[in-house]
Amino acid sequence: MTHETQRVDLTGRLIVVTGCSRGLGAALAPALVGAGARVIVHARDEAAAAEAMQKSGAHAAVAGDLADPALGARMMAEVMRVSAGQGLDGLILNAGVLGEMGPLDQVDFARFREVMELNVDAQLRLFVATLPALLSRRGVVIWMSSGVGRFGAPNYGAYLVSKHAIEGLNRLAHAEYGARGLVSLAVAPGMVQTDMLRAALGVDDVNMHTRPEIAAAAFVRLVHKALTHGAEIAGASLDVLDF
Ligand SMILES: NC(=O)c1ccc[n+]([C@@H]2O[C@H](COP(=O)([O-])OP(=O)(O)OC[C@H]3O[C@@H](n4cnc5c(N)ncnc54)[C@H](OP(=O)(O)O)[C@@H]3O)[C@@H](O)[C@H]2O)c1
């Protein structure tokens, strides 16, 4: 079946996407809404969250810095409000930071710790906070990984280490909750035309890489697959452009 003929209907599904102010997240939210899902967008502050909600047609918005330990509880409260206690079908842990590029022998430990806090600890906190809602719907969690979560590449520093940790969290979540119906996935989006890619490559022109809308459409197909045939892929480490 080709991508074009595949029916992707997420009607009745509730999905949270973090980091919807720009980049990949700003494309993911409207793509999911377009497939019929109800979406709760997240952004760093109230104004950005309201704007992301308005632009994407999302159902609700949650604001907060990833570093805020109370963000998960607010997200869970919004999930329970919007779903009337029914739970959550999908959590897309998209928001993240690149941090400083540079060799290991020039590491700034304060910055290293900060990237790990945002890209690992904060992701785990959001997962744990919403896990009961995900379990009650046999939902999918997408841990946003990267090619550099799977192999070495010079100068990627804390970012590379944090994405390796994300791959580990996916495996751990699958090992602990897969049998209870959670579909946990580590997903690399490929090289997508965003500010983060510009910073990583050190160039302004990234037009030869994947448009956010193309990656977002592939994520919609992957979420649909996870919610309909989750057992086939649960626990896997995937490249979204394969979908
Ligand atoms: N683009 C690529 O080629 C690529 C490749 C591999 C993996 N990825 C992964 O894909 C995901 C999205 O990346 P992207 O390229 O879209 O990045 P981006 O353009 O830099 O956008 C990052 C998003 O995360 C949010 N964010 C960052 N720090 C935050 C914080 N402390 N609190 C709340 N929100 C925060 C940003 O919000 P603000 O606007 O408020 O800063 C923004 O919405 C990331 O996990 C990234 O590692 C991307």
Query: pLDDT (tens digit, 9 = 90+) per residue, 16-36?
Result: 999 999 999 999 999 999 999
Pick from 153, 55, 31: which is nearest to 101 by CA?
A: 153
Segment 61-70 shows an average pLDDT of: 98
> Tens digit of pLDDT for each residue in 142-165?
999 999 999 999 999 999 999 999
**Which pLDDT belongs to residue 1?**
47
Euclidean distance between CA atoms 71 and 45, whole angstroms: 11
Q: How confident is the model at residue 240 (pLDDT cuts 50, 70, 90)?
A: very high
Please tell me the distance between residue 1's alpha carbon and the centre of ligand 1 in angstroms.
Answer: 32
Our answer to whether residue 159 is catalytic in this structure is yes
Which of these, 217, 227, 243, lies nearest to 34 by C-alpha position?
Answer: 217
**Contact yes or no for 56/41 (Cβ under 8 A):** yes
Whether the model pTM is above 0.75: yes
196 lines ligand 1 (CB under 6 A): yes
Which has the closest alpha carbon to 14: 100, 96, 109, 80?
A: 80
What mean pLDDT comes out for the span 94-122? 97
Query: What local confidence, expressed as pLDDT, does residue 6 receive?
Result: 60
CA of 196 from ligand 1 middle (Å) equals 7
Distance CA 37, CA 177 (A): 24
- Please enumerate in sequence order all residues whose Cβ is within 8 A of that of 5, keeping only pairs 6 or more positions apart, or say none: none
Compute, in angstroms, the gap from residue 23 CA to the centroid of ligand 1. 7
- Contact between 118 and 96 under an 8 Å Cβ cutoff? The reply is yes
Place domain 14-242 in its CATH homologous superfamily.
NAD(P)-binding Rossmann-like Domain (3.40.50.720)
pLDDT confidence of residue 3? 54
The average pLDDT across 197-221 equals 97
Ligand 1 pocket check for 45: Cβ under 6 Å: no
Which of 22, 41, 151 has most ligand 1 atoms within 8 Å of CB, for mutation? 22
